[in-house]
Structure 1
Amino acid sequence: MKQAGAILLLVIVMAQTFSKCCVVLSFAINQRAIAATLCENRAKPNSDCHGKCYLRKRMAAQEKQEGAPLNGGKEKFEVLLFNEVSKEMTVEPLTVIATPFSMYAAAPIQRDNAAIFHPPRA
């Protein structure tokens, strides 16, 4: 049972990988029928198309299907976790401006009361 599942999975992956080959192979096998029924130039007897217009359409449809995004057109955004620093980048030193005083007045020092606060009794 596991072997059958593995073979089925392998066939599905290979069919997706060789989808263009499958389209061309299908065309080669059915070229006479395609030229007689599906060809756009079947009414023109001296045309050298022989169903190749149908093959071009199928190949274009296959390309379009492969090029379509799988997530419904939503784009993925990558998150940059780190930024590589290049050697060409130069860092200028910061200039420090020392101020001799503070803009705020120092708060007066308060001493803690020795007594423990108890809320009033009701």
Structure 2
Amino acid sequence: MSKLLSILFILIIGVQTVHQGLIYAYYTINKEYIIQNFCKNKAAPQLKCDGKCHLKKVLSISKKETAPQELPLPNLEKIKAPLLYYQAIPNPFIEVVDVVPIPTVRSTFYPYVLAYAYQLVIAIFHPPQYYS
């Protein structure tokens, strides 16, 4: 049952995604029928409408149906913030202590430390010599 339901949802989403393509496919398949029965410009063949007027009308209807409807925004002047009251409740177990700031000495001298070293070895290493 769940497989059938998931396949049904996939088909519905797929048709919704390609519905305009389906309208174009229907137009190209049934072009002669649409020209004979629905075309407004049958009397003027020099316009070469070929039923595109009907296609445009059907596509505009489908766009209106699938267009997301905008929700009205609430008027912020009518909305009032709730009043909140606060009262400090004394707690006998907590003692309030005045905080005294501790003076700190700030140093503005930052000595530059050269952490880069390059050692150039010029002498060629010789193995130890054995003198007899």
TM-score, normalisation: structure 2: 0.49
User: Structure 1: where are the runs of 5+ without partners?
Assistant: 78-122
| The 10-residue stretch of structure 1 (28-37 or 45-54) with the greater mean CA deviation from structure 2 | 45-54
Aligned length: 74
Amino acid in the other structure paired with 1:39: C
Q: In the alignment, residue 51 of structure 2 is paired with which amino acid?
A: G
Indicate which of 72, 75, 83 corresponds to 2:72: 75
In structure 1, how many angstroms separate the alpha carbons of the residues matched to 2:3 and 2:29? 31
* SS of structure 2 residue aligned to 1:59: helix
- Detail structure 1 runs of 4+ shifted over 6 Å in the superposition: none
What corresponds to 2:58 in structure 1?
58
Amino acid at match of 2:24: V
User: C-alpha deviations, 1:41-69, integer Å up to 9, x for none?
Assistant: 12334441110111111111122222251
Larger radius of gyration: 2
Q: Within 1, Cα distance between the matches of 2:3 and 2:14? A: 16
* Matched-pair identity in %: 27
Q: Normalising by structure 1, what TM-score?
A: 0.53
Residue-by-residue CA offset, 1:19-48 (whole Å, 9 max, x unaligned): 111111111111110011001112334441
Structure 2: give runs of 5+ residues left out of the alignment: 75-132
